[in-house]
Structure 1
């Protein structure tokens, strides 16, 4: 399989944003219709989560996210000769699962903000947010099952398997916070389950619902998987060095929670002086801005930042190689543009 050269800014970001906007416009009406079938209390929280309403139920123009996963689903379907109509239920389902995970993750991580406004659990309460996440998860399977697509049953099974991976990945992530012996391989497996699995499923579902042959489905799955792991590297970098005005999260949020993210785990295992100092300080609770800044500097000095940058580029190249091997007949440019966009370090 060919592995193309990687130039992270070679594809104009505007083209990727356009692809996301088109996907959002295509998915939102079907997503709203699906959410409207939820019980009233769950519907209210879901509408807030998607940015359609404020905490009082009034119309809002808040962000509902980038729509990356449904965009990948629709584009993957078109790439193998299918239609967006055929893949639309799959795109809705992956967006529902993604937001199920966000509702639960925000509560687990006690994050107070997402997409530049209060998280659902801080507005509606912990218990209600958990139940709303459960409702979205159940709805996702129903959307696939009711699609009438020949691949519906396979899609439900795939989605359920993916959710099991997500849950295990989140459980492992939490367990890592209490451990001092996390290695790089273990951290990567956690990131594959927590993040890469759903991006892989998004691409695979699009190809499945388009009726693609297994070889092409598999290459698109691998494209999504490698892109997802690269995405996690970028997310972890932004969790340390990202601008809160851009990320929508508080500064050093991952360090404050003492999360074992990819650059942190590499630094802890680096056998460097900075890595040893990091290990000494990382298990001592501290919330001061100065202390968190010092920890970020140690992660950088121990090579964690540079390693995640290099891994991002390597995974992007591998993902694009799988995209090429899938022999897409359309939407290659848009999928490539999205791959470059999500592996940028300045968003």
Structure 2
């Protein structure tokens, strides 16, 4: 199965450590992207996005992500800025400008203050599937595993210049939007389309291409899109999310009907993953009980062991590195303060992540 990743980043003034709305200037300087890769604007002018090309394996994906970070970092530094990989800005811009464009304007009119201060960045994984029916079947099976991917990818403990007490404050910001969180159990592509159309008719989504579910059939590509993780602190963290997500999709494709799980328990699992990351408890969606988050991670690895195939050992090594050195959130907190977290997560010109993370 093919794979791709979209990485969102913050543009930060090195002198203040705060985001600045200079996305258009930076994107105008971007050069030397890999084949099929693109750099985009995002909702806020303080954000830029790198979208890899369609990749056949994790090695190719890593090459794309390294090249993308290098290109965006060089473009940002040419403008006197840093490219920072964090789910939320440790030190916020109190009045970030939204990007220009008709769709962005529609979003601002609909959601008002929910988006005027929104500066969150994620790591989105796309995995190729043959059709929408397969995509919906896969999404149904992903539901119990999304909180664990969140715990593993948590990288936003700071917000509004202070420690939030959460590993992923980005997820709490996203929870304010309609139909956020784990998607419901759909059962078929027709049911998915009907639920989406109902939300558009209710007036809480701009159109059918906009949802806030943590996994969905992509409205633009023949893929399942999983957008649960915060912006990855390093390329390794992004590759790990991609490897596990592809293995989950591969496992789901050949599975029977998805289990019917309690939506409130799934919501509790997402909240707990956002609160503690991997450093505390998690909620097992199958048993509706509190267990250590690392046990859920090991259960995920066991669940996808066959699907990982030749990636099993490299993915295991990446997991062990996170368990030893910490998630992005744990590394930010160890840095000691919001401004030091910015320094930690400023991407280096070589493009391999941040020099200290």
TM-score of the superposition, structure 1-length normalised? 0.30
Larger radius of gyration: 1
> Of Structure 1 and Structure 2, which has the larger fraction of its residues in helix?
1
TM normalised by structure 2 equals: 0.29
